[in-house]
Amino acid sequence: MCAVLGVYTQGDILTRCCCAIKGRYLRPSLISISVFLLSFGLFSSAAADCCAKTGLFPTDPTILHEQVDGFLNLIPAQRVQSRVFGLLLPGENYLVAGSVMGAGYQALLDRSFDEIVIITQDKSLPNGIWIPQISRFITPLGTVVLSRQFANKILKNSRQVHSTKNCPPPSFWYQLPFLQSVFGPHRVLPIVVGDADIQSLEAAVDEIVPLFSNRKIILIAVSNLSSGNDMLSMSRMDRRSIESLKNLDYISLLNDIDSGVAQLSSPYAVIFTMMLVEKLGAVNGKLLRHIATSGLPVKKHTGMCAVVGYGETARGEKNTEFDINDLTAADGNLLWEVAQATIMGKPSPKIPAKLKKISSGVFITLSRSDSIIARVGDLFTTLNLPDAVRQFSAILLSPDPTNRTTRQELDGCELSVCIAKPVEGILTPAPDMGIYIKLGEKVGLLFPGEGAELSPKRRMENACLQ
């Protein structure tokens, strides 16, 4: 059975397409990033070293390596078949943002680049683009060397780019252990955007892009999304930002930031990176992970995401993107069989490549005689569909004391699998739409038709009570 499901998220109503698999049947939905020339400010061999500040990382390299490796393997990798030009990652402490950073750096595994450029923002610097006059960056995992030749080439040919004796900001340092784990002792080029304006960024892009020709370059922008105490407002702003990031639409993103409907901690670092990757050939962005974390005090939240900017398909590969609207009845049956096999402890059926390329929300429900026994899932998971179905099906039978059911209780149960994706645009939820509410880690959920006889306000209240 398939229904259109509208959702609330933090009180804001969204719609989503839901294909709910009852028993073994599915009907597809109808709705559907060495020369010493002082006069140019170029670097000499006497440029200083920079060490990670005390407390930034554990001093034992084994511990740091294990932490980073754990984040890189925390969630299944999302394959990006096309050429990758850019990446947006959080500028937060890696222990807080590690799951997002790991998801982002997974997209760079098994790839090689001539140059790795990390773009951050320091609002205390004057207007312009800055390259730190540092030879080596030292972390517990070893030394990362400045890409000196590349830095000097940019400084010599761009009037918008200058050298600075300042070390890069902490947001730069949090990236280094991940880069060291993925690429080893690869040279890097840090670029710091000062108190910039759009005109100076555009001028810098025009000067820099020709210098990138015939080189494989990855541009890593570092910035958090929104922050504050109001999760509802943050959710709205993050969705606006992510939509612009996925479309590589820096004009809309900048307008949204200026009008207060979107927020980034380092907006000009992100805008500058989007300009560059678009000029280099990126055509789209893909969201790999998005979270909102709570800090101290608890009511202060920060949004973070990993978005990759990609372009043309690599030679010999087919660039095929799928979403839930591409699901067929056979796909639905297969996902149901995956859930059943996981719950019953049996081997999972063979999964076609198409399903592994679709990421969407998933909910697994066990019911008996119209009464819900257990329901687990997440609307905003970044797992591919088979992995998400397996993960949430396994939670139903978790050994944790809070588990909801056991195999002995399955006799006579009906298993449903719902695949969902949020879409904005609905002001009032219809009875055949579901409602999704999230506050911190707590979620209230109504499926299509549940409480259909009630008013939208009353249905909302019922979802809140969950």
CATH number for the domain that contains residue 132: 3.40.830.10
Q: What pLDDT sits at residue 41?
A: 44
Q: What pLDDT sits at residue 440?
A: 65
Cis peptide before 297 (omega within 30 of 0): yes
- Domain membership of residue 344 (yes or no) is yes
- Domain membership of residue 55 (yes or no) is yes
User: Residues 24, 70: one domain?
Assistant: no
Q: What pLDDT sits at residue 316?
A: 46
> In the structure, what pLDDT confidence band is assigned to residue 254 with cuts at 50, 70 and 90?
very high
Q: What pLDDT sits at residue 356?
A: 80
Q: What pLDDT sits at residue 409?
A: 62
316: how many CB neighbours lie within 10 A of its CB? Answer: 5
- Domain membership of residue 319 (yes or no) is no
Tens digits of residue pLDDT in 415-433:
888 887 665 556 667 777 7
pLDDT greater than 60 at residue 253? yes
Alpha carbon of 126 to those of 47, 122, 156, 171, 193: distances in Å? 21, 9, 19, 19, 9
pLDDT greater than 90 at residue 327? no
Relative to beta strand 188-193, strand 115-121 is: parallel
Q: What pLDDT sits at residue 19?
A: 34
Give the mean pLDDT of 295-305.
Answer: 75
- Domain membership of residue 139 (yes or no) is yes
User: Residues 124, 239: one domain?
Assistant: yes
What one-character DSSP code corresponds to residue 39? G
Closest among 235, 269, 243, 267 to 254, alpha carbons compared: 267
User: Residues 7, 62: one domain?
Assistant: no
Last residue of a domain, one of 268, 287, 313: 313
Q: What pLDDT sits at residue 50?
A: 85
pLDDT greater than 80 at residue 14? no
Range of the structural domain that residue 158 is part of = 38-313
Could you tell me if 324 and 29 are in contact, meaning their C-beta atoms sit under 8 angstroms apart?
yes
pTM: 0.66
Give the mean pLDDT of 387-400.
Answer: 78
Q: Which residues fall within 8 angstroms of residue 280, CB to CB, at 6 or more apart?
A: 85, 209, 212, 217, 219, 311
What one-character DSSP code corresponds to residue 168? P
Q: What pLDDT sits at residue 32?
A: 28
Last residue of a domain, one of 284, 313, 342: 313
Last residue of a domain, one of 279, 313, 347: 313
Q: What pLDDT sits at residue 10?
A: 30
pLDDT greater than 60 at residue 227? yes
Q: What pLDDT sits at residue 230?
A: 82
- Domain membership of residue 322 (yes or no) is no
> In the structure, what pLDDT confidence band is assigned to residue 46 with cuts at 50, 70 and 90?
very low
Give the mean pLDDT of 108-137.
Answer: 92
Does 396 or 59 have the greater pLDDT score?
59
Q: What pLDDT sits at residue 299?
A: 66
pLDDT greater than 80 at residue 98? yes
Closest among 72, 276, 284 to 189, alpha carbons compared: 276
Give the mean pLDDT of 206-222.
Answer: 92
Torsion angle, CA of 235/77/67/98, rounded to 10 degrees?
Answer: -20
Does 36 or 254 have the greater pLDDT score?
254
Q: How many residues does the chain have?
A: 466
| b/e sequence 197-215, b meaning 16+ C-beta within 10 Å | eeebbebbbebbeeebeee
Q: What pLDDT sits at residue 427?
A: 63
Q: What pLDDT sits at residue 295?
A: 62
pLDDT greater than 50 at residue 12? no
Q: What pLDDT sits at residue 260?
A: 93
- 3-state secondary structure (DSSP) of residue 407: helix
> In the structure, what pLDDT confidence band is assigned to residue 405 with cuts at 50, 70 and 90?
low
Report the percent of the chain where pLDDT is more than 90. Answer: 39
User: Residues 11, 56: one domain?
Assistant: no
Distance in angstroms (rounded) separating the CA atoms of residues 90 and 106: 15
User: Residues 249, 393: one domain?
Assistant: no
> In the structure, what pLDDT confidence band is assigned to residue 213 with cuts at 50, 70 and 90?
confident
Q: What pLDDT sits at residue 151?
A: 94
Give the mean pLDDT of 285-307.
Answer: 82
User: Residues 439, 362: one domain?
Assistant: yes
Q: What pLDDT sits at residue 422?
A: 65
Please state, rounded to an integer, the average pLDDT across all residues of the chain: 80
Could you tell me if 34 and 46 are in contact, meaning their C-beta atoms sit under 8 angstroms apart?
no
61-72 and 176-183 helices, crossing angle to 10°: 80
User: Residues 245, 274: one domain?
Assistant: yes
Tens digits of residue pLDDT in 430-464:
777 777 777 766 778 877 777 878 888 888 888 88
Give 311-377 as a DSSP string.
EEEPTT-------GGG--HHHHHHHHHHHHHHHHT-PPPPPPHHHHT-B-EEEEEEEETTEEEEEEE
Q: Picking from 247-261, 321-335, 397-411, which range would have the lowest pLDDT averaged per residue? A: 397-411
Does 428 or 356 have the greater pLDDT score?
356
> In the structure, what pLDDT confidence band is assigned to residue 231 with cuts at 50, 70 and 90?
confident
Number of domains comprising the chain: 2
- Domain membership of residue 318 (yes or no) is no
Does 275 or 466 have the greater pLDDT score?
275
Q: What pLDDT sits at residue 1?
A: 30
